[in-house]
Amino acid sequence: MSSAQRAWEWFVGKVIRLSGAMAIVFVILIFAFLLRDALPLLRSASLREILLGDTWLPTSEPPKFGMLPLVLGSLYVTVGALIIAVPLGLATAAFISEVAPRWIQEILKPTVEVLASIPSVVFGFLGLLLVGPWLMELLDLPLPVFAGLGSLMLAFMAMPTIVSVAEDAIRSVPTALRENSLALGATRWQTIRRVVIPAARSGIIAGTLLGLGRAIGETMTVLMVTGNAAVIPEGLVGILRPVRTLTATIAGEMGETAYATPHYHALFMIGLILFVITFLTNTIADIAVRRSGGVAQ
């Protein structure tokens, strides 16, 4: 090997190694930039006012940056979405991998994939023009946009994630465990419920967490169908009233905000909160996925 060749080999190796670490660099960069543009907000309001304040009026005089209504709005919509998506998603995953005849599997799997690929703005559009008005009439609601509608649309968006991760986990449970259970006189359902699902538990938890991350971070759908009223939702009936989520606030307001104003920093603060929440859920989910890989051995 000539020395030029050796130098080239060395250089390429370095470049590729650097690229490898790029993902880490970008996570840190995103965090740093959010921090940089979020922290100046603390000059306009205290952390306590920001996190616990119940009024979000960023353009009034003086502005109020209470994010509690937004946090609760996100919580309402997300929890609602999970209540629909988790049981349905897990049932579908169990159905696909354990119960369905092959031809049904072949319909269901691509259906879930198509569902995953439909853009969020299309879900918002459908909610706004089709499902919302229909539910308003059906339930006799004052408005066609409300928290529960966001939950419903989000549920269908988070479901593919839940289904595919949970299905992988269920599939990786060794066949021998199923056989052992059946050989002890268990029915197929007893085997699924008592052996397969417990063995796939970590993967199922991971799928749920990833679905949760997806639902919290979803933007366009909730921006379009939840009504965007920054009020603290009250009780159960709150799901039938408009709310505003963290993501929708950023998407709805950043367009009209001047650079480096307190409002601008406030929107970055929201971004920072979202980043931290999704970072935590994804990291925990990742650990759970790794653990479920251990069970399969």
Partner 1 sequence: MSALPRTSPKVSQAVAFALLWIAAVVVIVPVAAILAIMLLKGGKGLSWELISSVEEGLLPAIAGTAALVALTALISAPFGIAAAVYLSEYARAGTLVRLIRLAIVNLAGVPSVVYGLFGLALFVTLLQLGRCLLAAACTMALLVLPLVITASEEALRQVPRRLREASLALGATRWQTIRKVVLPNALPGIITGLILSVGRAAGETAPILFTGAFYGLTHPFPRSLGDPFVALTYKLFVDATEFPHVEEAEKWATAAVLVALVVAMNLAAAVFRARLRRARRW
Partner 2 sequence: MSSDANLPIKKPEGEIKLETHDLSLYYDGFHALKNISVYIPARRITALIGPSGCGKSSFLRCFNRMNDLIQSARVTGEVLIDGANVYDRTTDVAALRKRVGMVFQTPNPFPMSIYDNVAYGPRLHGIRERSALDEVVEKSLRGAALWDEVKDTLRKSALDLSGGQQQRLSIARVLAVEPEVLLMDEPCSALDPTATFKIEELMIELMENYTIVIVTHNMYQASRVSQYTGFFLLGDLIEYGDTVQIFENPKDQRTDDYVRGRFG
Site for partner 1 in 25-54 (CB under 8 A): 26-27, 29-30, 33-34, 36-37
From the list partner 2, partner 1, none, partner contacted by residue 57 (C-beta under 5 to 8 A by kind): none
With CB under 5 to 8 Å by kind, the binding choice for 295 among partner 1, partner 2, none is partner 2
Structure tokens at 128: 């706004």
106 binds partner 2 (CB under 8 A): no
Beta carbon nearer to partner 2, 3 or 175 = 175
User: Whole-number minimum distance, CB 7 to partner 1, in Å?
Assistant: 12
Residue 241 vs 247, nearer CB to partner 1: 247
Asked if 213 contacts 278 with a C-beta cutoff of 8 angstroms, the reply is yes
Among the listed residues 227, 81, 214, the one whose alpha carbon sits nearest the alpha carbon of residue 145? 227
- Residue 114 engages partner 1 in binding (rule: CB under 8 A): yes
Residue 243: strand, helix, or coil: strand
Each residue 174-193 as x (binds partner 2 by CB under 8 A) or -, in order, gives x-xx-xxxxxxxxx--x---
**Cα–Cα distance measured from residue 25 to residue 34, given in angstroms and rounded to the nearest whole number:** 14
Q: What span, in angstroms and rounded, lies between the C-alpha atoms of 243 and 76?
A: 8
Backbone angles phi, psi at 60, to 5 degrees: -75, 175
User: In the structure encoding, which two tokens stand for residue 135, read together?
Assistant: 């539910």
Q: At what angle do helices 262-295 and 246-253 cross, to 10 degrees?
A: 140
Residue 24 vs 237, nearer CB to partner 1? 24
Q: By rule CB under 8 A, what string of x and - marks binding of each residue 236-265 to partner 1?
A: -----------x--xx--xx---x------
CB of 193 to partner 2, least distance (A): 10
One residue of 13, 87, 119, 198 binding partner 2 per CB under 8 A: 198
Q: Which residue shows structure tokens 């190694």?
A: 17
Is 104 an interacting residue with respect to partner 2 (CB under 8 A)?
Answer: no
Measured distance CA(249)–CA(125) in Å, rounded: 18
Classify 118 as helix, strand or coil: coil
Calpha distance 285→204 (Å, rounded): 10
Q: Summarize as ranges the residues that interact with partner 2 (CB under 8 A).
A: 174, 176-177, 179-187, 190, 194-195, 198-199, 295
